[in-house]
Amino acid sequence: MKNGLIDKLNGRRAVIGVVGLGYVGLPLVLRYIETGYPVIGFDVDPAKPKALLAGESYIEHIDATPLKAATQAGRFAATTDFARAAEADAIILCVPTPLNDHREPDLSFVTGSVEAVVPHMRAGQVLSLESTTYPGTTEEELRPRLEAAGFTIGEDVFLVYSPEREDPANVSFTTRTIPKVVGGSTPACLEAGQALYGQVIDRTVPVSSTQAAEMTKILENTYRAVNIALVNELKVVAERMGIDIFEVIRAAATKPFGFTPFFPGPGLGGHCIPIDPFYLTWKARAHGVTTKFIELAGEVNTAMPDYVVAKVAEALNDHGKPIKGSRILVLGLAYKANVDDVRESPSIVLMEKLQAKGARIAYSDPHVPVFPHMRRHHFELASTPLSEASLAGFDCVLLATAHNRFDWELIRKAPLVIDTRGVYDPEPGHIYRA
């Protein structure tokens, strides 16, 4: 069973099924298509398969036009019908793993996807989870569901965890060139996992278990979260001392060893860094361990939007204006520069906090023309075009995301600028750092 599956994967004859056609799943679909595999994409949102079959992308930095040719050649299909999972030799789950209202893991997308595909699975398939999650998820949530369906893991089906490492719009590192960590439930599962990814990724990195692979991704993002918390805290200290923290970080970064630069901001955003450490702390508590250091970093980062709002209030007060009733333009809705990804964006948190204090909110983002539909946030807003006249109509411009497409000389002409990204040098009474 295993050898036949591996032969199909190595020979690029295996049909690849990708569940979840978003920022992680769609680049993976394109990479398998590019390498010559037939692919079926699955998503619960019918608009996504419809767009992809027409060669249209709903993610700004991803060109989906190759999918139209692949569709015409019979090498790509996209559907909401999970019964077609039976046609795939490999099924890769790329679905969200958010937090619930209590900042605890919400695995409903993972378990829902597994329960949608397992009834249609057959012997000779490999199932891989890529969604970031706490160590133990694959063995505790996926394995029992497969075994309850009558499968024997490592003999007739193969279970893998291989964390996604996508960095949207990063032209230096792509799906192909980012090394792929792979862990299997059994040695046979690991072999199948390496065959699954070995033809499309330049380098696979095998680890001893699915738990080790899950922990690897949590470590990567917790490392970033903790270091960002450090510079966010130092930003506050440096500001009180009259020191430019961005100048300090750039100077420290000239050391050729032992230092990696991280930069402060208005909070954490994206689908990983604000969430993953909480997955780890939740699981650690189940083992009787309190992760004080990680939880403190989470508190520091979570407090950053409140720090920024306080700086906005201070700057407006210097101009004789309260937050209540002030017109505030937030620059950049996306969580990081030069993408259209708004997941967990601190910009949205800032908008909500400022609006709750009575401010009249608008935003401008060349990558996000209309405020998108989101599960927990809602604004009936479209991006405000920038001009001298439009900027003059705001009491305050809050620079939250430093897109390259912003005209920084134009924005400098606004009456009041609050800069959270270190784009400008501070100017008393005009440009404030936050």
Question: Mean pLDDT lowest for which of 91-100, 277-286, 377-386?
Answer: 277-286
Catalytic pick from 94, 189, 272, 396?
272
* pLDDT of the residue at 275: 83
* pLDDT of the residue at 268: 83
Q: Is 272 a catalytic residue?
A: yes
Tell me the pLDDT tens digit for each residue of 45-83.
999 999 999 999 999 989 989 988 899 999 999 999 999
Q: How confident is the model at residue 2 (pLDDT cuts 50, 70, 90)?
A: confident
* Percentage above 90 pLDDT, the chain: 87
Q: Report the pLDDT averaged over residues 207-212.
A: 98
In this structure, how many other beta carbons lie within 10 angstroms of the beta carbon of residue 140?
A: 13
**Long-range contacts of residues 60-65, Cβ cutoff 8 Å, at least 24 apart:** 60/169, 60/339, 60/340, 60/367, 61/168, 61/169, 61/339, 61/340, 62/26, 62/27, 62/30, 64/26, 64/30
Q: How confident is the model at residue 117 (pLDDT cuts 50, 70, 90)?
A: very high
Question: Mean pLDDT lowest for which of 12-16, 167-171, 245-249, 345-349?
Answer: 167-171
Q: Report the pLDDT averaged over residues 181-203.
A: 98
- Read off the DSSP letter of residue 140: I
Q: How confident is the model at residue 374 (pLDDT cuts 50, 70, 90)?
A: confident
Phi then psi for 433, rounded to 5 degrees? Answer: -95, 145
Helix axes 346-356, 292-318, angle to 10 degrees: 50
Helix axes 210-241, 245-252, angle to 10 degrees: 130
* pLDDT of the residue at 147: 98
Answer yes or no: CATH 3.40.50.720 is held by domain 246-433.
yes
Q: Report the pLDDT averaged over residues 410-424.
A: 97
CATH of 2-208, one of 3.40.50.300, 3.40.640.10, 3.40.50.720, 3.40.190.80: 3.40.50.720
Structure pTM?
Answer: 0.93
Tell me the pLDDT tens digit for each residue of 20-44.
999 999 999 999 999 999 999 999 9
Look over the chain and give the mean of its residue pLDDT values, rounded to a whole number.
95
Residue 270 has pLDDT above 80, yes or no: no
* pLDDT of the residue at 228: 95
Closest CA to 210 of 182, 179, 191: 182
* pLDDT of the residue at 219: 95
* pLDDT of the residue at 1: 84
Higher local confidence (pLDDT), 218 or 268: 218
Contact present, 43 and 117 (Cβ < 8 Å): no
* pLDDT of the residue at 278: 86
H helices, E strands: number in the chain: 15, 13
Element (H, E) at 236: helix 210-241
Q: How confident is the model at residue 16 (pLDDT cuts 50, 70, 90)?
A: very high
Question: What is the distance between the alpha carbons of residues 13 and 195, in angstroms, rounded to a whole number?
Answer: 12
Domain extents in the chain: 2-208, 246-433
* Percentage above 70 pLDDT, the chain: 100
Q: Report the pLDDT averaged over residues 197-223.
A: 97
* pLDDT of the residue at 170: 84
